[in-house]
Structure formats: structure tokens, C-alpha cells
């Protein structure tokens, strides 16, 4: 832990008094040094809180407004931004990576990265809306998922996976969850029509044996399961790569794409409009935020260890001002956070 000056908003920036910040796998990768960017920025891109001050050109928010942030700050001037695809901004920068993020009491955010939190949405749920929920919404939209289709999600008990299942159901799709944790199978049954456990063998074989071949696969664990996803998807189906927490190459057989006309799509982050939609879905009860629990910011190390252990259901959040202990017992860190 270290003490820093409270940042000051300029131009169209807003000073956010952080109330909750989600712990994402990307944070773990940055801490490990697996992300090729300069170190030094405050971690955390899953940010929610209240407006404490606004820059001189800011007009969208007033002091005291509850706000949630997208993961990235876009330039709003390049071709991608003008097309409404700010996730592909040529000059986009990630909060918590190139810009100071939410593992702090205060954070400066561009007002065009912020959405109002509806009164019926808890701050912890709002914090994970852009990343844990919006990432899945963006992927499902890229794949053009609609009613009557079957959607399979790998890494289904993780933060993005468990919400992607709910989002797919919300548009009328049948859902299949794939997990490596047999002890999470029963709980996943609340969100998926079928559950496949990796411990039972290659999941593509199980999917075919159970006549569960999907139209779309949301691939959250591509380093481990992409080859199986390519074998499991229907002819003419779509595999969307969203998560890759274990960097490295994966072997792909071009013939599989040619003979079966499979589409392979990459997907990341979400737009401000998609964040707003996620907050609406939370407010309406169509999606329920899955929060494992919360910890004080001073125990960020414990939160990282818990996420790395693979025992987390959904997301863990950090509370910069106070924090209730996780109900799950965790070991004390060997060193301070």
C-alpha cells in the first residue's frame, strides 16, 4: 500500500470516489508480468462509485451521482469511435493498466467512460457490470445470438462466464455450461440448461454424445479448451474467443474451418451503450450479479490469491473505504498487500 495525492480532473474528466472495484483476471496477469505494458499504474478497471468533482468541460454528471465505468478510455475521434466501436479505438487506454484504476480511494475517469447507476442496482454489482457482464454481452452480440440457438460457455463459473450464461438465456437461447470444477456443477444448473464437466473427459466428445452441439461457443479458457471448442461447435457455427488467462499459442487446423465453415471471432470489453444496457438488465432483474464477496483494499493480495486458487464463484470486489470479510475462509497473506 502507498499514499498518493488525490488526482484532479481536467477537461471532461470526473473524479470518482471509488466505492467498489472488481478483481479481474487481467489484474492477475498484470501483477504476474504477463501483460506487455509498462508497470506503475494503479490496478483496477472494474470501477463504481460517486462523483466527487468534475472537470471544467464536464457536463454529464453532478457531484453525488452514482457512476460505473467502462474498462477503457477512448479518443472518440478515430474511425472506430465514430462508428460506435470504441472498444477498437486506435488510441484507447485501459484503466488500471495505462491509466490509474480503481484500487484506490479516488480515480479520475473520462465522463464518456461513465454511465449512471440505476437506483435499484447495488454498487458492487455496478462495479462488475462493464467487465464481468458487458464483456459477455459484447461477445454475444458479435456472434448475433438469438432465440432458439444453443450457446455453450467454457469457464462457466468465472466472472464473465456465469453472466454470459444469464445473458444468453435473456435473449431466448438454450445454454450449456462447461466447467473444470465438479463441485460447481449443481450451482451452474441454476444458470444453464446442461452442464458438462471437464473431469469427465474431452468436453467435445461429451457434447456430441449428449446431442448438445452448440451454434455459438463463448470461449473463456482458450489456451486450454479452444481445440475442443472447434470440434464441438456445429457446422457453420461460431466460436468467440473472449478469455485467455494463460498466454501462449494454440494449434489450429485450417481444414476444420474449411470443411465445416466455422467462424472464429475475437471479442473484448464493451461499449458505453452496452454498459448502460447491462445496468438496465441488472435493474430489471434479468441478470443477477454473481459476487463471491468483498474485502478491504488493504487485503488486495488476499483477493488475488483467492482468484488464483480457482475457488471463486463470480467476482470478488475490493472496497477502498471499508470491507466486510468474505464468508469463505482464506489464508492470511504472507506479506502486506
- The model's pLDDT over 266-301, given as tens digits with 9 standing for 90+, comes to 999 999 999 999 999 999 999 999 999 999 999 999
Q: What is the mean pLDDT of residues 90-100?
A: 93
Q: Is the pLDDT of residue 30 over 50?
A: yes
pLDDT at 48: 98
Instruction: Return the higher-pLDDT residue of 136 and 247.
Output: 136
E strands present in 91-191: 93-94, 106-110, 114-116, 150-153, 174-179
pLDDT of residue 331 exceeding 50: no
Is the model's pLDDT at 124 over the cut of 50?
A: yes
- At residue 277, the 3 state secondary structure works out as helix
Which CATH class for the 13-128+289-319 domain?
A: alpha beta
What is the rounded average pLDDT of the residues 206-226?
Answer: 94
**Domain 136-266 adopts which CATH fold?**
Quinone Oxidoreductase; Chain A, domain 1 (3.90.180)
Summarize pLDDT for 229-274 with one digit per residue, the tens: 999 999 999 999 997 666 678 888 788 888 999 999 999 999 999 9
pLDDT computed for residue 36 by the predictor: 61
What is the per-residue pLDDT for 66? 98
How sure is the predictor about 335, in pLDDT bands with cuts at 50, 70 and 90? very low
Predicted confidence band at 333 (pLDDT cuts at 50, 70, 90)?
Answer: very low
Q: Which helix (H) or strand (E) holds 27?
A: helix 25-32
pLDDT at 336 over 80: no
Percent of the chain beyond pLDDT 70? 92
268: part of which helix (H) or strand (E)? Answer: none
Q: What is the pLDDT of residue 201?
A: 67
Domain residue ranges in the chain? 13-128+289-319, 136-266
173 with 150: CB under 8 angstroms? yes
Band (31; pLDDT cuts 50, 70, 90)? confident
Q: What is the pLDDT, as a whole number, of residue 304?
A: 94
Q: Whole-model pTM?
A: 0.91
Res. 228: pLDDT tops 50? yes
Exposure of 229 in the CB half-sphere (CA atoms within 13 A): 33
Determine which of 46-50, 96-100, 143-147, 174-178 has the lowest per-residue pLDDT on average.
Answer: 96-100
Q: What is the mean pLDDT of the chain?
A: 90
Stated length of the chain = 337
Residue 125 sits at φ, ψ, to 5 deg, of: -65, -40
Q: H or E element: which one contains 187? A: helix 185-188
> Residue 44: its pLDDT value, please?
96
Q: Do domains 13-128+289-319 and 136-266 have the same CATH topology?
A: yes
Local confidence band at 200 (pLDDT 50, 70, 90 cut-offs): low
Amino acid at each position: 500500500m502507498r499514499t498518493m495525492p488525490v488526482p484532479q480532473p481536467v477537461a471532461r474528466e470526473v473524479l470518482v470516489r471509488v466505492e467498489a472495484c472488481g478483481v479481474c483476471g487481467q489484474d492477475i496477469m498484470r501483477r504476474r508480468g504477463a501483460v506487455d505494458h509498462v508497470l506503475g499504474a494503479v490496478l483496477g478497471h472494474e470501477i463504481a462509485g460517486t462523483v466527487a468533482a468534475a472537470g471544467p468541460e464536464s457536463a454529464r454528471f453532478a457531484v453525488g451521482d452514482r457512476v460505473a465505468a467502462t474498462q477503457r478510455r477512448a479518443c472518440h475521434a478515430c474511425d472506430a469511435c465514430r462508428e460506435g466501436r470504441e472498444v477498437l479505438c486506435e488510441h484507447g487506454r485501459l484503466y488500471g493498466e495505462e491509466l490509474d484504476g480503481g484500487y484506490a480511494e479516488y480515480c479520475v475517469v473520462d465522463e464518456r467512460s461513465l454511465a449512471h447507476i440505476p437506483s435499484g442496482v447495488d454498487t458492487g454489482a455496478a462495479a462488475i457490470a462493464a467487465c464481468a457482464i458487458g464483456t459477455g454481452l459484447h461477445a454475444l452480440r458479435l456472434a448475433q445470438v438469438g432465440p432458439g440457438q444453443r450457446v455453450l460457455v467454457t469457464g462457466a463459473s468465472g466472472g464473465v462466464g456465469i453472466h454470459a450464461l444469464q445473458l444468453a438465456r435473456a435473449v431466448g437461447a438454450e445454454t450449456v455450461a462447461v466447467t473444470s470444477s465438479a463441485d460447481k456443477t449443481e450451482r451452474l444448473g441454476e444458470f444453464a440448461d446442461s452442464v458438462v464437466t471437464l473431469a469427465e473427459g474431452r468436453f467435445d466428445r461429451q457434447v456430441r454424445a449428449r446431442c448438445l452441439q452448440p451454434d455459438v461457443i463463448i470461449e473463456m479458457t482458450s489456451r486450454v479448451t479452444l481445440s475442443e471448442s472447434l470440434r464441438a461447435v456445429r457446422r457453420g457455427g461460431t466460436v468467440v474467443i473472449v478469455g485467455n488467462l494463460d498466454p501462449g499459442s494454440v494449434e489450429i487446423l485450417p481444414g476444420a474451418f474449411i470443411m465445416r465453415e466455422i467462424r472464429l471471432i475475437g471479442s473484448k470489453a464493451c461499449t458505453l451503450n452496452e454498459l448502460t444496457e447491462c445496468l438496465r438488465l441488472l435493474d430489471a432483474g434479468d441478470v443477477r450479479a454473481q459476487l463471491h464477496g468483498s474485502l478491504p483494499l488493504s487485503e488486495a493480495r488476499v483477493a488475488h490469491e483467492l482468484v488464483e486458487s480457482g475457488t471463486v464463484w463470480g467476482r470478488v470486489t475490493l472496497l477502498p473505504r471499508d470491507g466486510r470479510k468474505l464468508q469463505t475462509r482464506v489464508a492470511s497473506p504472507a506479506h502486506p498487500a
